[in-house]
A and B are shown apart, each in its own frame.
Chain A
Amino acid sequence: MRLDLLKTLNAERAARRACVLVTNTATAAQRLVLADQIASDPLADELETALRLGKSTTVEKDGASYFLTVQVPPVRLVCIGAVHISQALAPLARATGFDMIIIDPRTAFATPERFPDVRVIAEWPDVALPPLGIDRYTAMAFLTHDPKIDDPALIAALKADCFYIGALGSRKTHAKRVERMQAEGFSDEQIARIRAPIGIDIGSVSPAEIAVSVLGEIIMALRKKPLRDDKITGVKAGVAA
């Protein structure tokens, strides 16, 4: 592989843009296809499929064998609320490879002392979120159960089609949240994507145990079939089911 190809590939990933490295496994000839070049590539159909699945694979075309190294952006976890659960979640998220960012306008909560080694933004979500460019490769966990803080970010998460949206709060709290999102014009199908109460039901009690259940739910949304077939619609189907 040429160093310049590898550096471009690394830069695309850092910029959260998908790309595919195509290698002829017999001749070792290679090319890097950026996201906006895929449609005009000779292997356009194969590249589209591999990118949608988010998986590297070998394809055959015109008697030649090509290995496709698929790069999709690294998965991020954005937490609204610099709360006790977020503190427990931070080291778990790091260990499992999620790039975690915490947003909370309450400066008493959003301190570096409470969150060593985590990016904490002490701003309201409407200020903090736009520069982050949340996308379908982003998971969002809403942990304040304060509508003033959660709701603007929840609206942004639904619009951005984040692969996971989970919200803390009782069923009663969530029922009110659903009403507010309906008033914002979101469809029932969109609102059904919000996982609430947040986390897999493993009977968690402590903040650390709740953090485990939240992270488990995020990993399930990311990895579990039918997500392997189609990450995005799969999440929707999973929630609706």
Chain B
Amino acid sequence: MAAAELAVDDDILVKAAQWREAGRGVAIATVTETWGSAPRPVGSHLVIDEEGHFLGSVSGGCVEGAVVTDALDVIADGKARTLEFGVADETAWQVGLSCGGRIKVFVERLD
């Protein structure tokens, strides 16, 4: 199981489908744009369930906490949204995108 949980992006999307089919509320977060030094490339996924369990990553662990929090709202209201994190952003300092890059993350509910 350890290897599966480490998960390349491919496995993460398979897991997302399995979670949804098991009746869990699921959101998929995808890195859609990056500027400067961003730890994870465009197309990277983070999959979140309604209880805050998550797999994958959209940064090197810097902003996952904030993305999970927003993902819970997306699961609740079904409205997709785009999040932006960067050093110019007060929130980013708080959640710590310490690499100095900026990223855009699209978060959508799996229906």
User: Bound state CA distance, A74 and B30, in angstroms?
Assistant: 19
Neighbouring B residues of A2 by C-beta, 8 Å: 110-111
Q: Is the CB of B16 within 8 A of A6?
A: yes
| Chain A residue nearest in CB terms to B3 | A94
- B:1-50 near A, CB below 8 Å: 3, 8, 10, 13-14, 16-17, 20-21, 28, 30, 32-33, 41-43
Interface residue SS majority, chain A = mixed
B47 to chain A minimum Cβ distance, whole angstroms, is: 10
- Interface size of B by CB at 8 A reads 23
| Chain B residue nearest in CB terms to A71 | B10
Is B64 in the interface zone, CB < 8 Å from A? Answer: no
Partner among B13, B21, B106 whose Cβ is within 8 Å of the Cβ of A9 = B13
Number of A-B pairs whose CB atoms are under 8 Å? 53
Interface residue SS majority, chain B = mixed
User: Bound state CA distance, A70 and B44, in angstroms?
Assistant: 11
Neighbouring B residues of A9 by C-beta, 8 Å: 13
Q: Is the CB of B17 within 8 A of A7?
A: yes
B12 to chain A minimum Cβ distance, whole angstroms, is: 10
Is A25 in the interface zone, CB < 8 Å from B? Answer: yes
Q: Is the CB of A6 within 8 A of B13?
A: yes
B40 to chain A minimum Cβ distance, whole angstroms, is: 11
Given contacts A2-B111, A25-B32, A57-B43, could you give 8 more A-B pairs where the C-beta distance is less than 8 Å? A1-B28, A1-B110, A3-B110, A6-B16, A6-B28, A10-B17, A55-B41, A57-B42
